[in-house]
Amino acid sequence: MLINNISISVVVTVKNDEAGVKRLLEDLDKQTVKPDEVIIVRSEDYGNCTRGRGRNIGIRMARNEFIAVTDAGCRPRRDWVERITAGLYKGQAFEYKGQALFVVAGWYRAVAETPWQKVFLPYLVPTIKKDKKEKRGKGKTFLPASRSIAFTKKAWELVGGYPEEPVSGGEDLKFADKLCNHTGINIIYSPKAVVDWPVPSTLTEFIKDMVKHTRGNFEAGYWPHIVRNLNVVARWMIMVIWPWLIPVYLIWGITRLHQKTAKRWRIRDIAIRVVADAAVFYGTIIGIIDGWVIRK
């Protein structure tokens, strides 16, 4: 369906998640404005390719100049396509060397319903505070994630597409960072173009996500998050020397991450803090090894 003379292709990559793809297609079919084309790239069909390569394959296959990207595990809200397409329409006023080069940064909201999901939430999802917004790229407010993003093919081509090397993820951070910091690409923020993302519901899934994200940061070479991961490792190395700092660190960490529930701390919260840091420590080790092998 056309909106403001824009035809849009939605590109999704998936690996062993048929149920997630089915839910996503159902959500896209219920959109207030339906996409003109939906391309699902199964990594199994391309030699278990990386997510970055899968995204690039899908974008090359797309018939339209305007591309929207999300993940199979996400649930686009009913007006997601309409809002992100409206952002693309606004971007048509911007040109660089005669070409339409712009990106629409949508947003995603974590769905945390169970007590465990609410404990996991602060470790996995960035937050934007009204009084202290996170600065990204050209002084903007956040780095767009590929759970909710749209762009023109020309912008995608200009930055060389998604990095294809990272096995564990992180390719979207690197891609978004290149888009946001390119002087010829305009970023249009559309925080109401929202997809819902379910937070892991079990401890095993949480640990896997923490390790995957940390490992992906090193594989993609995304330094802002690498520094954050290395800080966790450095803190524990210091606490090995001065173990009396451990309870101070754990209480400080819970206070910072769980401000609204600080009066109801539980042993569980402290344990999750330790588990999360252990997952970061492990992900850092294998991420450094993987990153060195990728760049060798």
Q: Cα–Cα distance between 207 and 278 in angstroms, integer? A: 9
Strand ordering across the sheet containing 102-111? 37-42, 8-14, 66-69, 149-152, 102-111, 186-198, 75-76
Q: In Å, what is the CA distance from 149 to each residue of 74, 175, 217?
A: 13, 11, 19
3-state secondary structure labels for all residues of 81-118: HHHHHHHHHHHCCCCECCECCEEEEEEEEEECCCHHHH
- Give the sign of the dihedral formed by CA 132, CA 129, CA 71, CA 96: negative
Place of tokens 């602060």: 122
Q: Please, which residues have CB within 8 angstroms of residue 71's CB and are 6 or more apart in sequence?
A: 12, 13, 146, 147, 197
Rounded distance, CA 109 to CA 125, Å? 8
189-202 burial: b if 16+ Cβ within 10 Å, else e: bbeebbbbbebbee
Structural domains in the chain, CATH included, are 8-198 (3.90.550.10), 203-295 (no CATH)
pLDDT at 180: 87
167 by Cβ neighbours in 10 Å (0-12 / 13-18 / 19+) ranks as middle
The confidence score (pLDDT) of residue 135 equals 40
Tens place of pLDDT for every residue, the chain, 296 residues?
445 567 899 999 988 888 888 999 999 999 998 999 999 999 888 888 889 999 999 999 999 989 999 998 899 999 999 999 887 766 555 554 556 678 899 999 989 888 888 889 888 876 544 433 334 434 445 678 899 999 999 999 999 999 988 777 788 888 998 998 888 888 888 889 999 999 999 999 999 999 998 998 888 888 888 999 999 999 999 999 999 998 888 877 777 665 554 445 567 888 889 999 999 999 999 988 876 666 55
Q: Between vectors from CA 164 to CA 95 and to CA 222, what angle results, nearest 5°?
A: 75
Listing DSSP states for the chain in one string gives: --BTTB-EEEEEEESS-HHHHHHHHHHHHT-SS--SEEEEEEGGGGTS--HHHHHHHHHHH-SSSEEEE--TT-EE-TTHHHHHHHHHHHHTT--BTTB--EEEEEEEEEE--SHHHHHHHHHH-----SSSPPPBTTTBS-PPPTTSEEEEHHHHHHTTSS-S--SSS-HHHHHHHHHHT-TT-EEEEEEEEEEEEEPP-SHHHHHHHHHHHHHHHHHHT-HHHHHHHHHHHHHHHHHHH-TTHHHHHHHHHHHHH-GGGGGG--HHHHHHHHHHHHHHHHHHHHHHHHHHHHH-
**What pairs with residue 37 in β-bridges?**
9
Best CA proximity match to 105, nearest among 63, 57, 141, 66 = 141
